[in-house]
Chains A and B, each alone.
Chain A
Amino acid sequence: MANSAGMTGAASAMAQEAPYGDAARVFEKRKIPAPLLDIQELSVTFAQYAGGLQKRNITVITGLSLTVRPGEVLAVVGSSGSGKSLLAHAILGILPVNARVAGTILYAGENLTPARQVALRGREIALVPQSVGFLDPLMRVGAQVRRAVRNGNAYLAQRSVFERYHLSDGVDDFFPFQLSGGMARRVLVAAATIGGARLIIADEPTPGLHPEAAGEALGHLRELADEGRGVMIITHDIEAALAVADRVTVFYAGATVETAPVADFAGGGEALRHPYSRALWKALVKNGFVATPCAQPPPDALPSGCLFARHCETATPECSREHPGERQLREGTVRCLHAT
């Protein structure tokens, strides 16, 4: 008895220290709704010409599984080159023609077929792209955002969403190049939400913004989730992710290695399930700035076993035999034979 009481005490102390633990605890108390987006074992393969007429296939995403529930922010965190942006493009059905997709994507419980992708993107499912480079450089931003309005008075709808994001009348007539970094993010969020989308996918929402503007951009995404939408943030910036997310999915070399509630990113990373997630956590300046030597294997030379085995301290011979499958572990998932 005394022992178990002691453990509870320690656990609650840890939760209090967790910087963004509150959001996760609130989330746990609610009834967990059915996922809005459910992706299982997604893979993306590109056919390339390797000199002459020789074709070769490169699988860039090998095993991606994640879920986004209504009312939550899921952050997908991974290193550059891990295939994160392709994930957004696969969901929206805007991959290049030489890409082949396998696995299942369910949206609101139904298969997300190419026809449904065309019907839903921009309406039910919206992308907040990385930069103003995705806007038409020759069109005033007010007019561009009005084009996304499907019903009713487009001008009123655009003004009201601009007001929500503190974009004054004058901004309507700006061209994209006249926007500051923070304003550009707000215009992109306005464009994505004006059509009433239920699933918002934000690709790298923070780079190039100074801390206040980055915090504001993330705050807008959190608000959208609190209104009941599902929000997925794709980012390399784990601190930004932890600031607003309910759950975090860690992505390495084209596969999801772990999904964890944000509260697990605390202390020395003991609660994390996968060694790569721990390496990511410990690499932060505040957690020791530890440099784990873990360059990702390139997509055309993936090992036969666990993708991380070469850099893993706990790897055993079984690890290099076959890809570990994903399994449930302590309110999360992991792809590691040895995780406990």
Chain B
Amino acid sequence: MPLKAYGIGFRYRPGPWVLRGVDIIVGPGEIVGLTGPSGLGKTTLARILAGYERPLEGAVSLNGNPLPASGYNPVQMVFQHPEKAVNPHWRMGDILREGWEPDDGLLAALCIEKIWFSRWPNELSGGELQRFCLARALGPKTSYLIADEMTSMLDAVTQAQIWHVVLDMVRERGLGVLVISHDMPLVRRLCNRVVDLW
């Protein structure tokens, strides 16, 4: 039941190709790292895998089928800048429950305080917002998580907390994860396999 992308090509209108002929595969319960210098299309590839962009060449498949066009997307992405990934006009509780109802165990593991539910996004710090973004993305129907520099803006303690929650889900229910990061020690610690995008 892997998440597969093959022969991916992408560019913005007449511009140069951002990606050409890229293949990547992530299996259930597998953690794959994606590294490479800035500007080589790592985030674009992530957005294609999560269904935010359509590739101009090649295709993405999940269990051999295309990604669902509507309903809950089993491939969820968490972005580098959480403040840009939440609706500023929604309260945190509504943001958290957009896709599912996270249980108390997960909230406790991510140190999410219930008194934050009535807050607006601009009243929380980046680290606090990112915990919500991760909880929001980890619904039971999520089979793959795309983590694009998910913890690079966070302090070391928060980074370790967040990754341990993800690692537990990988072990417990076979979540597959694509880790995009510049932080090589982190990538080596987390991943079974590393793809260098060139």
Contact = CB atoms under 8 A, between A and B. Distances in A.
Interface size class of A (residues with CB under 8 A): 20 to 34
Contacts of B182: 210-211
A284 interface: yes
A238 B116 contact: no
A289 B128 CA distance: 20
Interface in A278-308: 279-281, 283-286, 289-295, 298, 301
B189 A236 contact: no
B113 interface: yes
A80 B38 contact: no
Nearest to A79: B155
Contacts of B38: 180-181, 210
B56 interface: no
Interface string A312-325: 00000000000000
A78 interface: yes
Interface in B77-136: 111-113, 115-116, 124-128
A280 B115 contact: no
A237 B127 CA distance: 13
B37 A210 contact: yes
B155 A78 contact: yes
B159 to A, nearest CB: 7
Interface size class of B (residues with CB under 8 A): 20 to 34
A237 B183 CA distance: 12
Q: Main SS of chain A's interface residues?
A: loop
A48 B155 CA distance: 28
Most chain-B CB neighbours within 10 Å: which of A79, A208, A294? A79
Given A210-B182, A211-B182, A285-B186, A80 B158 contact: yes
A290 B111 contact: no
Contact of A238 (B152, B156, B186): B156
Nearest to B119: A298
Given A210-B37, A285-B186, A290 B154 contact: no
Contacts of B113: 295, 298
A312 to B, nearest CB: 13
Interface string A117-157: 00000000000000000000000000000000000000000
A58 to B, nearest CB: 10
B157 A80 contact: no
B164 interface: yes
A80 B125 contact: yes
B155 A285 contact: no
Interface of A: 77-82, 180-181, 207-208, 210-211, 236-238, 279-281, 283-286, 289-295, 298, 301
7 contacts: A78-B155, A79-B154, A79-B158, A80-B125, A294-B157, A295-B113, A298-B113
Given A80-B125, A298-B116, 18 more contacts: A77-B155, A78-B155, A79-B157, A79-B158, A181-B38, A207-B153, A208-B152, A210-B37, A236-B153, A236-B154, A237-B155, A238-B155, A281-B156, A284-B156, A291-B161, A292-B161, A294-B157, A298-B115
Closest 4 CB pairs of A and B: A81-B125, A295-B111, A79-B155, A283-B156
